[in-house]
Structure 1
Amino acid sequence: MQNLLLDNRYKVQKKLNESSISYIYKAYDQKTGNKVVIKYEKNPVGSYLQKEVRLLNDFYSVPGFIQVLSQGSFRGKNFAVYNYLGKSLQTKLVESNGRFSLACVLKISEEVLDKIHKFHTIGYVHNRISPKNILTGYELDWQSLFIVSFAYSSVFMDFDRKRHVAIKKNALKDKNTLYSSVNIDEGYTSSRRDDLESFIYMLIHFLQGYLPWDPSKTDENVYKIKKNISVNELCQNCPIEFKTILQYIKNLKFNEDPDYEMLKNTFKTIAEKNGIHPTYDWKLNNDKMIAKVKYDKSQTFLIQKLMQSPELLSSSVHRRRASKTGKFTFELLNSERLEIISTSRNRLESQKELSRVDTVKLIEYPEINNRKKLLELRKEFINEARSSSCSLRN
């Protein structure tokens, strides 16, 4: 499919991955100039991809879920176009030598548990919670995590009767996986408790670097080890709260509504008790991110001086100068504010329009959680600079 143009808009560039049911391609949106992902199924029209698209359309207005940008068929098979995301947690785990720090695990728990809660609120269970199905955001969404691969998701509510579906034991058991719950391995109908059990297994793996039933490290039956291992043994290298969480999840009844807030608060307690600020082990790519902000190169020396001695801004001279020029304010992680003068008076007198230039690299770049806020600040910065330019010319 390389170089193929789908929907007269999306140009396929290269294959990123493939599963048992679909191919995943990186593509280019010729209308917006953005990267996108195209999922093209291997089987004829009417299978898993259509189900995934219908499900994602139910989540169109829910923050933190990928969006279906387009859909159609090509050569008798379905395709769907999604917004582009970053690497999976599985890839991040490999890059981190098989383990994440406690701060990183707590940050992941915060993000993923929130997404699972939202997913369950709509009436679905995912059934495939695992590191390969959780992706980091792309560019300005770098702090968010996105759950993907909804082809095997199912409903746990009978919406017509407004009640929980009944529990059954299927004749054909689901294939045992590293993160599947014991109930799923035994062939029982999945419910919310099973997503949460997969979730906590994943966190334990991240923190300890292994799960005792990892088939690559044991010759014993995966299901047998998973079923018989004690909570204490499984969580021996984790904070004690992990034992409490796992025991709570295992004691949930099939149709019981989990206490998500209690789980979230327990993870917060771990962070507070250990004096940890939850944060990812991987870093923001400053070079790519700060290139999105404009500033006048001629002020590099002044900016560096202000960064070294921000108290200079307290003087009346610098306050007056800053008020007559465009400025962009960065919120630092310690909540302090540092106003960076972006264009000088002399520069504005001769400059007809703002030109794109590189931004000085800050010592500590802030966490960016809201693309809309950044764009509004950038628009305000440009408008203020232009207004200053016009007033100086007059």
Structure 2
Amino acid sequence: MVVVGELWEVFDKIGQGSFGEVFAGEDKQTGQKVAIKRESSETTCPQLEHEYQMYQALHGLDGFPKVYYGGQEGQYNVIVMERLGPSLKDLLQLSPTQRLPLQTVIYCVPQILERLEALHSRGIVFRDVKAGQLCVGRYGDDISISPQLFMVDLGLAKYYIDESGRHIRNKKPDWKKSKTGTARYASINVHKGREHTRRDDIESLGYIIVELVKGRLPWSNLRALTSREGWKKTLDIKLDTLLYDLTDGLPDPFRFLIDHARQLGFAEKPDYATLKRMFVDLYQHQWGNEVLTWTVEDGSEWSAGTQEHLDAWCDTGLAYSAG
């Protein structure tokens, strides 16, 4: 039996990524299920210590997992954290059409904006917003009846406020610098070599919600021999794609959110309140106060009464990526 921090028993591996592994775990005294992330302490670019510090900086905020332990265990850096349900990416992949219902996405957007606003209020930008980092909550061993979303995987998060309390400087763009994040969802300014700020997280969110509803983006599934080539090809298509074409068939707030992010200055604060209100009003206009259940395009449904698929996900831990 492997034990971490003298309190948590380690079970099967449930995830793996470029930065490490994730294991199912359990508190030996209470039986509480946890997720245990680990990476080799000798890795070239360690991230877990930084991620642990980011979670500590966000302590007390809603919508971020509780972290119970962070430290070194033998040859590994380790984080023990609250175990959540599946991510939006997991739900998307279950759908035969690779899409989520419009109602589901519109319902989720204000929550995601709240998470980003809270993160930004602590002087931090996420820098890699994507569907795999947004997970359904749970109560004990069950999926949360209320579809609360949690933001996870803060390994690439970074302070945009310096030690003096000032916003980082707007340096000259460096086209040749290595990019942070995921090209598919990166803002145009990040593509051009500018530092990440709040506006870039919002623009990334815009691309994500379009993809969740439509199933793909115009620059999805590009072929490239190198990372640099892939980033360049993605930027070229983003620049050539009109916002009206990108959001064709979607309600106006989708286009407004991306346009708002693109119009913001380097250090300018996004108008979170207006963005949230637009999506809340849109949801209430279309569906009133209807309680959301998790659905996919083929009509399959998860609710408080039929949660077999979600419970299975909780048991296998697909909500977590290791990098």
- Normalised by the length of structure 1, the TM-score is 0.68
What residue is the counterpart of 1:281 in the other structure? 294
What residue is the counterpart of 2:195 in the other structure? 189
Which consecutive unaligned segments of at least 5 residues does structure 2 have? 225-229, 296-301, 309-323
Which residue identity is paired with 1:8? E
What residue is the counterpart of 1:132 in the other structure? 132
State the alpha-carbon separation in 2 of the partners of residues 267 and 285 from structure 1. Answer: 24
Which secondary structure state, in structure 2, belongs to the residue aligned with residue 149 of structure 1?
Answer: coil
Which residue identity is paired with 1:158? D
Aligned Cα root-mean-square deviation (Å): 2.3
State the alpha-carbon separation in 1 of the partners of residues 247 and 262 from structure 2. Answer: 14
Q: 1:261 aligns with which of 270, 273, 297?
A: 273
Within-5 A mapping of 1:110-121: 110-121=110-121
Q: Which runs of 4+ in 1 moved over 3 A?
A: 216-220, 275-278
Which residue identity is paired with 1:44? E
Query: Is the Cα contact below 8 Å between 1:107 and 1:278 reproduced in 2?
Result: no
What residue is the counterpart of 1:174 in the other structure? 179
* CA displacement 1:316-363 (0-9 Å, x = unmatched): xxxxxxxxxxxxxxxxxxxxxxxxxxxxxxxxxxxxxxxxxxxxxxxx
1:102 aligns with 2:102: yes
Q: 1:155 aligns with which of 155, 159, 178?
A: 159
Which residue identity is paired with 1:153? A
Query: Is the Cα contact below 8 Å between 2:107 and 2:279 reproduced in 1?
Result: no
How far has the Cα of 1:287 moved from its partner? 6.6
What residue is the counterpart of 1:141 in the other structure? 144
1:39 aligns with 2:43: no
Q: 2:250 aligns with which of 238, 245, 252?
A: 238
Within-5 A mapping of 1:315-394: none
Larger Rg computed on CA atoms? 1
Which secondary structure state, in structure 2, belongs to the residue aligned with residue 81 of structure 1?
Answer: strand
* CA displacement 1:160-196 (0-9 Å, x = unmatched): 1x32111233442316521111111222100000000
State the alpha-carbon separation in 2 of the partners of residues 244 and 53 from structure 1. Answer: 34
1:223 aligns with 2:235: yes
- More helix by proportion, 1 or 2? 1
State the alpha-carbon separation in 1 of the partners of residues 280 and 244 from structure 2. Answer: 21
How far has the Cα of 1:286 moved from its partner? 2.4
- Normalised by the length of structure 2, the TM-score is 0.82
Higher relative contact order (CA 8 A, sep 6+): 2
What residue is the counterpart of 2:312 in the other structure? none
Which consecutive unaligned segments of at least 5 residues does structure 1 have? 290-394
Which secondary structure state, in structure 1, belongs to the residue aligned with residue 113 of structure 2?
Answer: helix
Which residue identity is paired with 1:105? V
Which residue identity is paired with 1:145? L
How far has the Cα of 1:216 moved from its partner? 5.1
Of 70-79 and 257-266, the range deviating more from structure 2: 70-79
State the alpha-carbon separation in 2 of the partners of residues 11 and 132 from structure 1. Answer: 26
Q: 1:26 aligns with which of 21, 24, 27?
A: 24
How far has the Cα of 1:12 moved from its partner? 1.0
* CA displacement 1:34-55 (0-9 Å, x = unmatched): 1100000134289311111111
Which secondary structure state, in structure 2, belongs to the residue aligned with residue 206 of structure 1?
Answer: helix
Query: Is the Cα contact below 8 Å between 2:49 and 2:71 reproduced in 1?
Result: no
